Structure formats: C-alpha cells, structure tokens
A and B are shown apart, each in its own frame.
Chain A
C-alpha cells in the first residue's frame, strides 16, 4: 500500500474517535433536554453530562496528540 493510502486510512480511524466524542456530546445534550422535558433531576443530568463529555474529549485529544506527534516527528524520508 502507498504511504498516502495508509495515512488516509489512519486518519479515518482517528476520526472515528472524534465522531464518537461529538456524537456522545450531542447525545448528552439531547438527554439533558429530555431530562428537562420529563422534569427529571436537572443537576444530576447536567453534571454527569459534563463529566462524561469532558472525558471523551480528552481521550480524543490525547489520541490526536499522539497521532500528529508521531507523524510530525517521524524521521524524514522514512
């Protein structure tokens, strides 16, 4: 496989993490709206969402950091 193809595949895999993070964020926003519709415990819903969303964003961030870090710092020409 060409290096270019490999990079694209790698990039797509990485983007899954971001899709996960974004969709989880979106889902949690939805759940908080649902919770307000259903008159559920608001504080609990919001704090859980904030915690969970942060975790997923950090995880995605770390992974991207590694990905770009590794690619940027590769030996030239290799």
Chain B
C-alpha cells in the first residue's frame, strides 16, 4: 500500500483527533477516587428503619436513613412518645461509631503486654475458666463487675449473673438507678415520674433537665410546657447551665450546700407552719427530732453565712414553695456529685415531704417488668462501688462493661494500681479506652446499631419500652455481651432455673407480661385521639398484634411500645428519715472546703455533648464541644470577669491552674455568669488512648473526694490557684 502525502496528513489528523478526543473524554469522565465508591456502591436504594438510641437513659426513638442497607443518617422518630421527632446531638451522631476505624474487631488476649487477636471460642473458654475458679459465696466475692449501661434489662442480667457468681460486687452506672438510690434508702421506692402538668413550682437542685437527665428530650418539652403555663422554676446549681438560665432564677451555690439550702427552706416552712401537718404526722418517722434539728441549725441567716445564698432569697423561695399548690423539689444523679451527695438528696426528699410530695405521680396497676429487683437489694446495705477495689485483695476477676472509670474518676492512679493486682480483667467494651486497655481479655460488644436491646422508661408518666433492633449485621467478629452472659449463666449453671437461649430470649420473657395484659400500643401511630381513648377505656385494645411473635416482631420494627393511658395514683411514701441521715458521720468528717485568699474552687462541669466521657471518639461532637467557648480541641477555664480582673487575668490568655495534684495550662475565658469563688473547667477532654489526645482531664487534678455512700466523685471540691502563665502560648 502506498501512502501519499495527502493520505499521511489525513491519517495524522485522524489519529490526532482520536487522541485528543480520547484524552479529553477521559478527562471529562475522570471520576475522583473519593467519589467512585459512592457512585458504584450499589443501586442506591433508600430505606428507613426505626430503632432506639441507647446512648443515654432517655430512650429516644431513632429513624435511621439507609442507602443500600448502610446507615448514613439518624433522625428522631416522630411517633416515639419520648422525643416526638426531636433528637439531640448525641443521637444524631450515634451511627458514626459503627464505622469508627478504632473499633475492636475481634476478641483479644493480652500476651506480654500486647493484644493478640483470638477466636471467640478461645476467649469464651478463658472467661468461663476464670469464672469457674472465682465462684464464691456472698461475702468474699472474688468476682466483680463494673458496668455502664442505660438498659435496665442488661443491668438486671448483670445482677443476676453476678448473684449466680456469688458476689455482690457489682456497680452499674445507670442514670436512673443512681437517681433512685437515695429514695431507696429512706423511702419505700422512688416516684416513677413527676407530673409536670400538675406541678406549679419546681425547685431544681442541680439537675440539668434538658441536657443530662433521665430523658433530656422529654424534659425539654415538659419544661417548655411548664413555662408556657407561666409557672416558675428555680435552679440551684454551681454553674449557669441551660437548665439554670431557662429557670426564672438561678441561685449560684456549691453542690455541697444543696443540703443547707434545702433545709434552710424547710426551716422557713417549719417556722411558718405551712407544712402538710397530716402527712408529716403520719408518714414522717420521728418528725419532732427532725424539726428540732432544722430549727437549731438551719436558720436562713446561718445558711447564708455558710452557703452565700442570701437569707432573703431563702425566705422568698420558701414562701413561694409553701404557697404553691403542688410544688416539687427535684434532683437527679447530679446531686450526688459531692462529698455529701446522699445527704443532699435526703434533705431534698425531706423538703418534699414537708409538702406531702405534691406534684409527684406514681404509676400503679401496670404489669410492667420488675426492674426494681436489683435496686431493692441496695436498700438496706451499703452498695458496692468501684472505689472498694482499693485494698480489696479478694477480687480475682474483674469484668468491665463500657465503664471507663479510669477516665471518669479522680482516683484513677490508685484504681490503676488496684487493677494491676487483679489476675484476670475482662472487658466487653467495643473500644479500647483507658480502662479496657488494662484488661487481659477483651470480648468486644456490638455497636449499638448491630445489637438488640431495650430501654424502659417511666419518667414521662407513660410507661414506655423502646426497643433497639439490629439495623445491620455485625461488621466484625464482635459478640453481644448479653448473649455472652446468658450463655455463661447456662453453661456454668449459675442459676438453677435458667432456660434462656440468648439475650433476645431473656428480653422476651420480660416483655411477655406487657403483651399479656394487652394495654398500650406500639409506636406505629400518632397519639390516640379522644375517641380511641374512650374506646380504650371501654376495654378495646389499641394494639394491632394478635400473637406474641407478632407483637415482638412489630415492636422491633416500630421501635417500641408505650401505654398512653396509664393508671396513675398519687405518691405518698413513708419517710424513714431521721435526723442522723442529715448529719455527717463524725468519722467521715464534713469535707466542706472553702476557698480562701486568692484560691478558688475548681468546679468541673459536664456538658451534654460528653456526659459519659466518651465524646473524644466522636469527631463531630468533639469539634462542637468548643463551639461555645470558641476554643477547639483544648481545655479552657471559665472565670468570672470580676474575679479575673482582680487577679489581672485577661480574656483568652493562657493561665496555669494549680491544685494539690499538680498544675495544668488552659485558656482563661471571662464569663459574667461564673460563680465568684469558682473556676469552671469542662470535663471530657484529656484522653490518653483512642488516639485523640488533646486538652486536660480536670478530674486527674482534682482531689479524691467522693460521696461516702455511693462512691460518686465530687466535681467541685478541689481548691485551686489560678495565675497567668508567663511563658507564652
């Protein structure tokens, strides 16, 4: 073939065009690598699934948006009676832990200080071997269990498991159980809910209703409804939290003095004789001694001199309290965060007692699972807590479930040593944290989206059981801790009548009574109408299921069950309070410390974004943590502008804070709402594992002060000095 010049040019031109087109085409169609997996992942089918958030005791319904069966977003379930479609930052980000690169993917054993992956059967073997060796009788418990779970069912399982192991060394950090503890000590149980609808005056002792409470989402709505009726609430707290500034008034006070404030108010009520005399005579054990004690020690003037709360304010508040038709003094777990926490709670209960517990409701006539059995056992004797690991040489096996107490407790150094002395430490945490890092064996739990659980809640006044269904199949070789415990009880024959196959089975037996009594409804329809209400009262069933299996299947699918029309009766408990409950034991000694001179009180505050101390794993929340202060990924210290001026500390300058345990640097922030005697440091930063080390954990600089009864650390009884940090930023 002969190619002449013309052809050659044509050929050249053609190939050039082809080349150009190819190149350009490729450039046009070039898809960045970051987009490719999204584009080619699948048919992109959008589905929604309902489940429950178990990150806090609130039990909000979640609506999970899934693309090709992978969860990508979480929203609130509008049909859930608890959150009615709303959801908090923690709930919104709750799916991110599923994809977290730091998740533990399989059971691990520590060999020569290094973790080695092992099979589940091997891990199970080691654990059951250890348990066999450490079974014991009630008193010299060789096994201990420290857990943190908001699911009462899981908590109960752990208690049953441990009682089978013959040990009562169980601590379960559970917001509602902790709040109930003081009631269990001096009354016949706790009221199941507060009827905000009938209350007309609330005295709030340190509770962070809308942020950290038994159900922040429910309380947010309840407080707004309460305020919409022009009712007042007053908050006593060491920091101006949202619950304090949403209140009519904020009374700044250190947590140790809640007791004094409550009893000071009682003093005025007793003097005015405006208390509920009939109730007091009948239900108050040894009322006269109580009255004598109050009148002796808690005059408003005396309270003012101790606490700094103006006597005038105490008198006004007391008169408002006694004048209201159904007032309530409210507290929750946070009242325990001080050396006299339990006495604080007793004082508040006593104050309520003076008004006959008006405003409280108690659910009656419900065939609900008996969640209280575990708590009842704490009633008479001292509950065990993790601080008792110190100096306890009996414990040979410690089990940990999601409780990162080496981060959440000021005595972490001592606890760390105690842990080192325990031959077998088993962790069920799905992540490596400060505490599980020290374990010898880790059997990681599923992520929340992979597991089955349920949360029972009565705080709204409508008993609710929110169920968490497995949204996705487990990504890794993790095991549901409930399943492990259920099969351990069976295999080791820890309980004589044990017939459960797995955790699902265990849950179902608890929920059968709910099905059997036929009341309530699933979360698959809107709030019942008046017609439906009357039908229901006439004996009709709201529910749409006809067998337990159907009930169970639908319950998982719709995210739970609730009873919109519970039988409610007024709660009039018997108070076994005597004056000894309100006086500190001499040997424990009143820890009340007052800053003198230039020293200030180091008040550690907990933000709603991180009330469990595990926020650092969550990049979204960690960033948002600094939004208020505009100090990101670092610790700041809030100081009252007046105090700061006195100490010549300028806004946003570096300061050094010195406590008995050492000193740390932070950025000072002026804030007109900080107590004059306080410096406020946020809790949540300063992790040493999880790869995200920024900021300071203020607890490691605070004194080892605990509530003597519950072992809850005090967050505000450390004296600190603050000074300008000379050597720059």
Q: Do chains A and B touch in the complex (CB under 8 A)?
A: no
Chain A interface (Cβ < 8 Å from any Cβ of B): none
Chain B interface (Cβ < 8 Å from any Cβ of A): none
